[in-house]
Every structure is written in structure tokens, then in C-alpha cells.
């Protein structure tokens, strides 16, 4: 079984994904309403035999939404940043732009020029906190 910090890619077809989502929602409704998982067998599965903390109600909800999103679009999954222990929280900022270029390096250099140009239009950015919550901030709006 995978450790909690490992990321695993799962290749499933539409029927398999629908079954996984149904099982997650059933688990959420039947086992996660009261906090502790009442069924010992399900609890052992959800905790990998007690080696992991089980997902809570909200975490299962976020997982279902992520699985739905990943199945609807070919998306790049960006991990949230770790929880910062300093005075200010840590955020991951995503700047997305499409550019024509001969190769990836040229594309990166072109985007860097755009980002550094004070005459460039202010971008719309996506900000992810340590919980995986995504907020869009459009810097062109005043």
C-alpha cells in the first residue's frame, strides 16, 4: 500500500470510476457521519490496517470532486503546498498562459519575458492553500 505522502496515478475506465465514486459516497454517508468508522473491516481498509489516518467526511468530498475533475479534462494535477509553521501560511500560485514557441525552453523564456514586462496586462492567477482549496485572483480587476 502507498504511504500517505506518495502520489499514485490510477487508470480506470468510466464504469470503474463511477463505481469508485459510488463507493466513496456510500462510505461517506454510511461510515463518516459520526466521526469513527463503525465497521471494523471498512475501518481497517480505510486506515491500511491502522497505519494511516482515515479520510474525513470533507476529505472524501474533495477527493470525489478531484476524481470527477480529472475524468472530465486532461488536467495537470498540482499538489497543494505543505502546511507552513511560520507566521504566514504558504500558498502555491499558478500562472497559466498559452504561447506559441519552437520548444519548451523557448516557451518558458517567452512567458518569463511577459511576466517581467511592466507593460503586460495583469494576469489571473490560481492560488492553492495547504488544504487544496483553490481561489482565482484576477489582478486586472480593481
pLDDT score at 51: 92
In our burial notation (b when 16+ CB lie closer than 10 A, e otherwise), range 33-49 reads eeeebeeeeeeeebeee
Domain that holds residue 20: 14-72
Between helix 14-31 and helix 57-72 the angle, nearest 10°, is: 170
Whether 50 and 97 share a structural domain: no
Give residue for cell 478531484: 66
Residue 80 lies in a domain: no
Higher pLDDT, 36 or 35: 36
Domain end call among 38, 72, 106: 72
Kindly calculate the radius of gyration of the chain based on its CA atoms and give it in whole angstroms.
20
Does any domain span residue 86? Answer: no
| 45 alpha carbon, distance to own chain's centre | 23
Residue for cell digits 487544496? 132
Paired with 45 in beta bridges are none
Residue range 41-87, pLDDT digits in tens: 998 999 899 998 999 888 998 888 888 876 554 456 678 888 888 88
Share the mean pLDDT of the chain: 84
pLDDT digits (tens, 9 = 90+) for 101-122: 999 999 999 999 999 999 998 8
Amino acid at each position: 500500500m502507498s504511504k500517505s505522502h506518495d502520489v499514485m496515478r490510477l487508470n480506470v475506465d468510466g464504469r470503474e470510476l463511477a463505481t469508485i465514486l459510488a463507493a466513496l459516497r456510500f462510505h461517506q454517508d454510511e461510515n463518516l457521519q459520526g466521526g469513527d468508522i463503525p465497521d471494523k473491516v471498512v475501518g481497517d481498509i480505510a486506515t491500511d490496517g491502522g497505519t494511516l489516518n482515515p479520510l474525513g467526511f470533507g476529505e472524501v468530498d474533495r477527493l470525489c470532486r478531484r476524481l470527477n475533475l480529472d475524468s472530465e479534462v486532461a488536467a495537470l494535477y498540482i499538489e497543494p503546498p505543505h502546511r507552513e509553521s511560520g507566521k504566514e501560511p504558504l500558498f502555491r500560485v499558478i500562472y497559466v498562459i498559452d504561447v506559441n514557441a519552437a520548444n519548451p525552453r523557448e516557451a518558458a523564456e517567452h512567458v518569463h519575458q511577459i511576466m517581467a514586462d511592466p507593460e503586460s496586462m495583469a494576469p489571473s492567477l490560481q492560488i492553492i492553500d495547504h488544504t487544496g482549496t483553490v481561489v482565482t485572483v484576477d489582478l486586472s480587476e480593481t
